[in-house]
Amino acid sequence: MSAQSIVFPQQVRDPKLPVSFRFLLSLYGIVPFCLLVIWLDQFGFHHALRDILPSSPTHFLLFQVLFGTPHIIASNLLLFSHTDYLSTFKNKLIGMTLFIAVFFGIGSLFIPYRVLYIISACWTVYHVLKQQHGIAKAVCRLPNWAFYLQLWLSISAGIFIYMGIFLKNSLEQGEAALVLQIATVLTLALVISTVVCQKHVHSKLGVIFLWANTLLVVVSLFVYSQHYYFLAILMPRLVHDMTAYSFYVSHDVNRHGEAPQNGLFRLAARFHVPVGLVLPLLSFLLTYLLQAYGDDWVNYILQTLFSTQIYKAVTLGLIGYLALMHYYTESFVWAAGSPLRRYIRFSGL
């Protein structure tokens, strides 16, 4: 979802399930909760929790099943299961697929892995924080200069925090210290800009939203500096994913609630699965199957038929493709004029 996604006049009449700004704001409750957990761990359990948590969320299958990948799969399911959406965005989807195949497929033969990883990491951080700032823009109603100042300071700080976490094993001690210093300076600049920008916000809810996004970055930096890498990624991941699901579920209830309009929801109706649970349940199930068994299934088939194997064909290849498509499509499928936005309205202002 993007900053442009909030303004859209052509909505269905009286949708059953609006997206609540107050609910979206409540998701930031994970930030003080993680601070409390760290305080208890440091002063009550002598860092026992930090020592048993994985050093990276990607080392923990349960994290992969619960966060990140499910909402990516849900996003693609929502888009590709509706023929009218496919028809509307067909050229963009084909073009992006070709770009991914050439740049990340063929390009991987010539471009160093670290360069591709950094590009993907920057795109990930941009996608996560652009969504949160885009939603907050409707509440804060900042001038464009203030909005983009907040956005790019958040993204810049977030990129260095992300790099510090996921590249920590390949960074020299001096490089790691430099990454932390740059992230700290950018975060401090973000705090200062928030103090300045809040003068342009004329509602209490808007001010809270403005600081919620800032504190998400500030606390992520602090948690990262304390070496709670798992929690540093968990906070923005949970806020982002739950925000995305609130849009997906609202869309599905408002479009399919009275009468299923595609094969997926007609099948779900036969098994009496509530409309709002179809996409979450299916995306979590597919995530588990793909993460736990996908590579083995593909390599078994390839080994049987062609006596060959492909390294992480599913967990890196397929899921990587879906993630990049998700980052790309979410920048326009919820924008003004998109057919998906007809089924979304907001409440709680």
pLDDT of residue 9: 40
Mean pLDDT of 201-224: 95
CA 57 – CA 166 distance, rounded (Å) = 9
For 41-89, the pLDDT digits (tens) are: 999 888 898 888 876 655 555 566 667 789 999 999 999 999 999 999 9
CA 126 – CA 172 distance, rounded (Å) = 26
Residue 3 has pLDDT above 70, yes or no: no
pLDDT of residue 1: 53
How many Cβ atoms sit within 10 Å of the Cβ of residue 159? 22
- Mean pLDDT is lowest, of 219-233, 244-258, 305-319, 328-342, for 305-319
Of the pLDDT bands very low, low, confident and very high (cuts 50, 70, 90), residue 6 is: very low
Residue 7 has pLDDT above 50, yes or no: no
If one compares 93 and 63, the residue with the highest pLDDT of the two is: 93
Residue 130's domain spans which residues?
3-347
Residue 14 has pLDDT above 90, yes or no: no
CA 28 – CA 59 distance, rounded (Å) = 25
E strand or H helix at 347, and its extent? Answer: strand 346-347
Written as one string, the DSSP assignment of 261-279 is -SHHHHHHHHTT--HHHHH
For the chain, the domain total comes to 1
For 111-163, the pLDDT digits (tens) are: 887 888 888 889 999 999 999 999 988 899 999 999 999 999 999 999 999 99
pLDDT of residue 149: 96
Average pLDDT over all residues of the chain = 88
CA 292 – CA 193 distance, rounded (Å) = 44
Of the pLDDT bands very low, low, confident and very high (cuts 50, 70, 90), residue 296 is: confident
Residue 37 has pLDDT above 90, yes or no: yes
- Mean pLDDT is lowest, of 128-132, 188-192, 288-292, 302-306, for 302-306
Could you tell me which of 327, 340, 336 has the C-alpha nearest to residue 123? 327
How many Cβ atoms sit within 10 Å of the Cβ of residue 210? 23
pLDDT of residue 258: 87
Of the pLDDT bands very low, low, confident and very high (cuts 50, 70, 90), residue 40 is: very high
CA 97 – CA 272 distance, rounded (Å) = 35
Q: What percent of the chain has pLDDT over 70?
A: 92
Residue 8 has pLDDT above 90, yes or no: no
Owner of token pair 């290849």: 317
Residue 306 has pLDDT above 90, yes or no: no
How would you class 313 by CB atoms within 10 Å of its CB: exposed for 0-12, middle for 13-18, buried for 19 or more?
Answer: middle
CA 339 – CA 88 distance, rounded (Å) = 8
CA 168 – CA 192 distance, rounded (Å) = 28
Of the pLDDT bands very low, low, confident and very high (cuts 50, 70, 90), residue 204 is: very high
Q: Quick one: residue 315, left, alpha or beta (phi over 0 = left, psi -120 to 50 = alpha)?
A: alpha
